[in-house]
Amino acid sequence: MITDPRIFRLITLIRLALSPPKGAGRIGLAIGFGIVCHALFALAVLSMIVAMFHGMSESLGRVTWPWALLANAALIVQFPLVHSALLTGRGRALLARIIPGMHGGTLATTTYAIIASAQLLALFALWTPSGIVWWRADGMAFWAICAAYAISWIILAKASFDAGVEVQSGALGWLSLMARIRPVFPDMPTQGLFRLIRQPIYVAFALTLWTAPVWTPDQLVLAVSYTAYCLAAPRLKERRFEALYGARFSQYREAVPYAAPKLKRGRRTEAYK
């Protein structure tokens, strides 16, 4: 019997969605949203991996300079602003109303994932490269940095799984609609990488920014901007967690560091489940 709640939740949700109650319109809407969500998600991740691997030196943006500076700045700013705004109380209410009708609330997490994926795809696919390459790794350095880059993405995938892959990927909304159930969010994450630090997703994403084998002014601007975001944005997330989980999150926060693991672990986070 599967006891890991991260796996059990996902398997249960998939099983319910595979035997949905009748309702052709609801099922069609759910499947349509699922296809759009995961296709955009895959394209966004692929564009991120490829663009940063080349130090943002290869992309589809062709805005003339110096207007490209404004275009690239807008691409950088749009993601954190909208991404964080949609997580506020008003933002979540807006997400539930984007899709008219009775299913907007159920699809809110999928809608959120679609918007975030479209934003990231725009950033990495429409970036206008400066054409300046400072440094390009070669020989053993190239393979070592590529290994670090791949490991960073693996850590990011693991952290997303630990946080609740059904939410991170957008599957929770459309699978819940298929099964005609209310979306059930994962409990406060304390397993896996969350035992070491409180914000492994943000830290892992920051690692992907700094392990590219090609360095350009573009990559540096992106790395500095989004590393600052990765350090600051989780503070807002932790305020929500404190309001939601109260003393349990406060105890977890005292025992587990924010972004850098302790050399010696203190109290175990199992106490906060």
Tens-place pLDDT, residues 214-248: 999 999 999 999 999 999 989 888 998 999 999 99
pLDDT in tens, 106-147: 999 999 999 999 999 999 999 999 999 999 999 999 999 999
Burial class (CB in 10 A: 0-12, 13-18, 19+), 92: middle
For residue 215, give the 3-state DSSP assignment: strand
* Predicted local confidence at residue 147, as pLDDT: 98
* Predicted local confidence at residue 101, as pLDDT: 85
C-alpha 166/C-alpha 127 separation (Å) is: 29
- The two structure tokens encoding residue 120: 């990231």
* Predicted local confidence at residue 264, as pLDDT: 67
* Predicted local confidence at residue 57, as pLDDT: 95
Residue with tokens 């560091």: 257
Domain that holds residue 185: 5-272
- Please state the domain count of the chain: 1
* Predicted local confidence at residue 273, as pLDDT: 57
* Predicted local confidence at residue 197, as pLDDT: 95
One-character DSSP codes across 154-165: HHHHHHHHHHHH
Whose CA is closest to 10, among 160, 155, 178, 172? 172
- φ, ψ at 135 (rounded to 5°): -155, 140
Listed as ranges, residues in the chain with pLDDT below 50 are none
C-alpha 34/C-alpha 18 separation (Å) is: 13
* Predicted local confidence at residue 200, as pLDDT: 96
Whether 216 contacts 132, CB under 8 Å:
yes
